[in-house]
Structure formats: C-alpha cells, structure tokens
Amino acid sequence: MTGVRVAGVGLTPFGTHEGRAGRDMFAEAALAALADAGVASEDVEHLNYGNFMGALAERQGHQAPLMVEAAGLRCAGTRYEEACASAGVAIREAVRAVRSGEADVVLAGGMERMTNLSTAEVTESLAVAADELFEVRAGVTFPGAYALMARAYFDRYGGDREDLAHVASKNHANALVNEYAQYQRAVSVEEVLDAPVVASPLGLFDACPITDGASSVVLVSESYAAEHDLDAPVAVTGTGQGGDRAALQDRADMARTPAAADAADEAYDDAGITARDVDVAEVHDCFTIAEVLAIEALGFYEPGEGIGAARRGETTRDGRLPVNLSGGLKAKGHPVGATGGSQLAEMTRLLRGDHPNSDAVPDATVGLTHNAGGTVASAVVHVLEVAE
C-alpha cells in the first residue's frame, strides 16, 4: 500500500456566482489545483466529483463527464452523492484508489450552484437529503431538524443559545482574513443572540448561508511525487466513513452523532493516531450545534463538555485546539457538494503554512477534516499530516 500526498489544491471564492454555470466554477478550482500541484492534466487518471443538487439547481444530471471536459482532462469521471458529504466521499475513494495502486494521480473535489434558486427552493431541494417518507412529508427541514438536535442536547447536557453564539462569532472571526470566505466580517455574540429566530433555539446566525462554489485537490502516490520532484509535504494518512439512520425518529439518541464517531475511529486507527494527537480541525458546522456535536463525536471532548468550548476560548484561533480556522461552513459558506473538498484544501494550506490563519498553528503537524451528510446520517473523516 502506497502513501498518498496532497500535491495541490484549488478553490473558487465561496458566495454568489451570478449567471455562472457550475461546470465553469469547477473548472476554475480544478485548473487552480493542477497549477498548484505542478501536475499535467494528461497525468490525471480519474476524476472523483461530488455534487448533491445539480439535477434540481441546474437541471443537469450525469455531471462527471461534463466536469472532466470543463477541466481539460482526458480520463473517466465518477460523480459521488452523499448529501453534504459528497466531496468527502469522493476524496475518500480517491485516497483508496491511490493507496491500492489503481492510480497514481486522481483529481477529487466537488461543486454546488445554489444561489440561482430562491431560499424556499433551496430549502426544499436540501430537504430531500432527509427521509422523504417520514420526515419531508411531515414538513421537516434541516433548520428544524438541527433545532431538534440542539433541544435534545440542551435537555440532556445543558447549555444555552449563548454557548452556540460563541461558536458563530468565533468562526466569523476566523473568516475575516480568508479570501475564499463568503462572509468576511465580524459578528459579535450579541448580534447572534439578537438575530431573528429560525427554528428555536437556532437563530439566523446559527445557520450556514446559501452558497455557490467549487473545490479540487490533486492526490498523488508518494512514488509519483518523488519521481516528478513535487513539493507535496502534506499526506493523507487516515480516512474513515460512518453511517446512521437517516430519520431522526429512528435514532437512539438525537444528542449524539455516532456516524461521525465511527468515521473518526476508523480514520484514527488508519493513521495510527488518537484524538489527542490532532493539532487543528475543520468540522462540518452547518449549524452551530453541529460543531458542538462534531467535536464530541471526534473525541476531542466528552459528551456534554463541547458546548462550552468556544465560550471558554478552547477552540478559538488562540485556543488549545483551533476549530474551523477557515471560517467553517458558518462563515466561509456551504456549497454542499464542494464542502468536503474545501475542508481538505483549507487544511492542506494550514499545514503547509500558506493559509492566512497558519500563524495560529505554526507548529501544527496533524490536522483533521470532518464532513457530514444530512443530520449526520453520513460522515467522512480524514487525517492529514506533515510528512517527515
């Protein structure tokens, strides 16, 4: 089994790309990743592409060959759909392909175009990631679903809206210097608390925005990197995936996310590390409560202890474990199919030292990314390390 290096990363700015086709956005990210890697397009052996709602937002299915063409590649492509974890799964399968020796160079990432739809249309489109028969028909949307999870957490462990407000404020502060972030402005705890309620106890600033964007990473074998003298200091040393019941009412506990815990356990075992070895993390904070659930499932905190982490300053840029230095989904944005690739790109930049927030973690050698689908019915975790 060969090691896997991240040779290059590429992103579009996240936000509104009015009048721009999804294939154009993905091409921008893909070409940027290839240029960053110094890898010729003809060396790419496969495209692993994540997308969730393209058939609804752009009335376009069968997107993989279109993205291969748009990126100027001459290879086969496969589209992966796992709701908000689509790109995370695409990258996981790319890692497995390189490790097995099936390929030396794989381009992986994703794209989502969302802002061309109205808020109501986006909400309806995203809702199909829930259980249509038992949740969607009853009117459940993801703000409502995560509000139920937040209430379940508060009932069991305590905590309040102000704890969640500190998560939002922290992530907006991290996005201030990120040129790819949708919202590069500070949001105070008071502003979060004063914002309109969307689904109690969650308010407007507890939710990630509607976003367009694309992400790409070039993954190569260690032998290819050595043969082509690539500057690829970051390795993917661990990967894991977990699953859970799709519908909340079918779960034993709405205040826990076992899919993420299982994915993390597999990734840690794969990398030969524990949660204590992680220096910095990018987690799936589609809602503020999601970050709390994530840092507990990943083993950084015991159940009930994660709720106050941001308030105590432990997960801020100056804390013992900085979380979401990119701004997270909350402030950087959440183009659903692109998010998992964006997390890996941001973590690579952080560990390489060329991210605007790398100065917060100058000695970091181990990073983790956590990408979740739906109400964490799907989860993918990757461990990235600075190679010796």
Q: How far is CA 241 from the centre of its chain?
A: 13
Q: Can you give the pTM of this predicted structure?
A: 0.97
Q: What does the pLDDT look like over 44-59, one tens digit per residue?
A: 999 999 999 999 999 9
Q: Which phi-psi region, left, alpha or beta, contains residue 235 (left: φ > 0; alpha: ψ -120 to 50)?
A: beta
Q: Which of 84, 172, 208, 355 is catalytic?
A: 84
Residue 16 clears pLDDT 90, i.e. is over it: yes
Nearest to 178 by CA among 313, 384, 291, 325: 325
Q: From start to end of the chain, where are the E strands?
A: 4-11, 46-50, 76-80, 105-112, 197-199, 202-203, 213-221, 234-243, 280-282, 366-373, 378-386
Q: How far is CA 339 from CA 13, 87, 124, 126, 166, in A?
A: 12, 7, 19, 14, 22
Q: What is the band of 377 on the pLDDT scale with cuts at 50, 70, 90?
A: very high
Residue 366 clears pLDDT 90, i.e. is over it: yes
Q: Pairing between strand 378-386 and 234-243?
A: antiparallel
Q: Which of 17, 46, 166, 334 is catalytic?
A: 334
Residue 4 clears pLDDT 80, i.e. is over it: yes
Q: What does the pLDDT look like over 193-212, one tens digit per residue?
A: 999 999 999 999 999 999 99
Residue 388 clears pLDDT 90, i.e. is over it: no
Q: Three-state SS across 243-271?
A: ECCCCHHHCCCCCCCHHHHHHHHHHHHHH
Virtual torsion, Cα 328, 331, 337, 342, nearest 10 deg: -50
pLDDT at position 181, please?
A: 98
Q: What is the band of 1 on the pLDDT scale with cuts at 50, 70, 90?
A: confident
The tokens for 85 are 């974890």
Query: Cβ(85)–Cβ(334) under 8 Å?
Result: no
Q: Which phi-psi region, left, alpha or beta, contains residue 59 (left: φ > 0; alpha: ψ -120 to 50)?
A: left
pLDDT at position 11, please?
A: 98
pLDDT at position 2, please?
A: 87
Domains of the chain as residue ranges with CATH: 4-117+209-386 (3.40.47.10)
Cα gap 292→311, rounded to integer Å: 11
pLDDT at position 36, please?
A: 98
Whether 334 is catalytic is: yes
Q: What does the pLDDT look like over 268-298, one tens digit per residue?
A: 999 999 999 999 999 999 999 999 999 999 9
Whether 208 is catalytic is: no
The tokens for 101 are 């020796």
Cα gap 156→140, rounded to integer Å: 22
Mean pLDDT of the chain: 97
Q: What is the DSSP letter of 208?
A: P
